[in-house]
Amino acid sequence: TWTMLNIAEEQIERVREQIGDSGIAICGLSGGVDSAVAAAIVQRAIGDRLHCVFVDHGLLREGEAEQVERDFVAATGVNLHVYDARETFLAALAGVTDPEEKRKIIGREFIRAFEAAEATVLGEAAEQGDKVGFLVQGTLYPDVVESGGGAGTSNIKSHHNVGGLPEDLEFALVEPLRTLFKDEVRLVGEQLGLPAEMVWRQPFPGPGLGIRIIGEVTADRLDILRRADAIARQELTRAGLDRDIWQMPVVLLADVRSVGVQGDGRTYGHPVVIRPVTSEDAMTADWARLPYEVMERISTRITNEVEEINRVTLDITSKPPGTIEWE
Ligand code: XMP
């Protein structure tokens, strides 16, 4: 912890030097640990001159948007701009069932939404005579190595189609996690007092629940999946297994129905698949042998508490041949 305090302080100092006494920075938050820790470090360095942007695309799990909007802000005091893009994402995803098509649409809409949010923030800053010159990113050391990155004072161009701003803006990149591994990032996050759920969050794909609904993504289906997923996560946590299990996607087979008996009568509901895996790096994975009692509680609670779901199934496929996600 002594070393971790040092790492945090060292990064805060470096950011302070890079951005200077009057520089202004912008940072996109995803709900994940990397962007949160990067933002927290920069906030400590430059305070309210950091503007964080959170695009709520409606594809996060239960409680995750609130974690950013409420708990993270309370813990760090960051200056947060929330951009509600839930309707836009649903409209763009209407009728789409192909996994890669979903990914493309979600990626495209995310960039659009972030740029629109960014434009608002930059516009407000400009009104006060400020120019935003820095973009914060949560790049980790393994990403730097993988991309063959060098010393690390790169610039990035951001394109805008939004009125009132130059088409191309140039930002200097601020990457306070560039020398850190994931476990160090988590420890720094703890040191900076971030919410534990964020710091210890298991990997979660950028396209979010959008690729965990097999079939079209709709508001109703997201709601069903969110409730089932919350129960599965609660029970995993309650069993003390969060750190043993790499990830546990819950997948809604939205176009499949099967007959069941729930309460007083016959139902015709949807199945969910529970996909707990162990892994070192997500390149390969083994299906996790969850204790029977834990599986039982997950199954009983989901079918009792989520009336649209009448069957809980377990994925016992390793990777390869199965991927971790179903799409
Ligand atoms: P697969 O399903 O390929 O997943 O075994 C390997 C790891 O990557 C995550 N994943 C994604 N992450 N965007 C992301 O940011 C994506 O489109 C995406 N698809 C898969 C997955 O959760 C697992 O950790």
CATH of the domain at 72: 3.40.50.620
- Residue 278: domain span: 204-314
State the pairing for strand pair 79-84/50-56: parallel
Protein residue whose Cα sits closest to atom 3 of ligand 1 = 323
Mean pLDDT of the chain: 93
pLDDT, tens only, 136-156: 999 999 988 887 766 556 777
**Same domain, yes or no: 97 and 151:** yes
Same domain, yes or no: 183 and 227: no
**Residues framing ligand 1 (Cβ under 6 A):** 103, 203, 205-207, 247, 282, 319, 323-325
What's the 184 CA to ligand 1 centre distance in angstroms?
A: 22
Residues 38 and 171 in one domain: yes
In a domain, 327, yes or no: no
Element (H, E) at 53: strand 50-56
Does 188 lie in the same domain as 221? no
Do 156 and 12 lie in one domain? The reply is yes
Same domain? 151 vs 243? no
Residue 55 maps to a domain? yes
pLDDT at 100 over 70: yes
> pLDDT value at position 149?
65
Nearest CA to ligand 1 atom 22: 205
pLDDT of residue 196: 93
What local confidence, expressed as pLDDT, does residue 114 receive? Answer: 94
**What is the distance, to the nearest Å, from the Cα of residue 188 to the centroid of all Cα atoms in its chain?**
18
Shared domain for 131 and 187, answered yes or no, is yes
Q: Are 218 and 69 in contact (CB under 8 A)?
A: no
How many domains does one find in the chain? 2
What CATH number corresponds to the domain at position 236? 3.30.300.10
32 is an annotated ligand-binding site residue: yes
User: What is residue 196's DSSP assignment?
Assistant: H
Beta carbons of 264 and 285 less than 8 angstroms apart: no
Q: Which of 171, 198, 225 is the last residue of a domain?
A: 198
Q: How far is the CA of 207 from the centre of ligand 1 (A)?
A: 9
Phi and psi angles of residue 96, each rounded to the nearest 5 degrees, phi first:
-95, 130
Pinpoint the alpha helices (H) of the chain.
2-19, 33-46, 64-66, 73-76, 86-93, 99-127, 141-146, 182-191, 196-199, 219-238, 292-305
Q: What is the pLDDT of residues 266-317, one digit of tens each?
A: 999 999 999 999 999 999 999 999 999 999 999 999 999 999 999 999 999 9
Q: Whole-angstrom Cα distance, residue 12 to residue 135?
A: 15
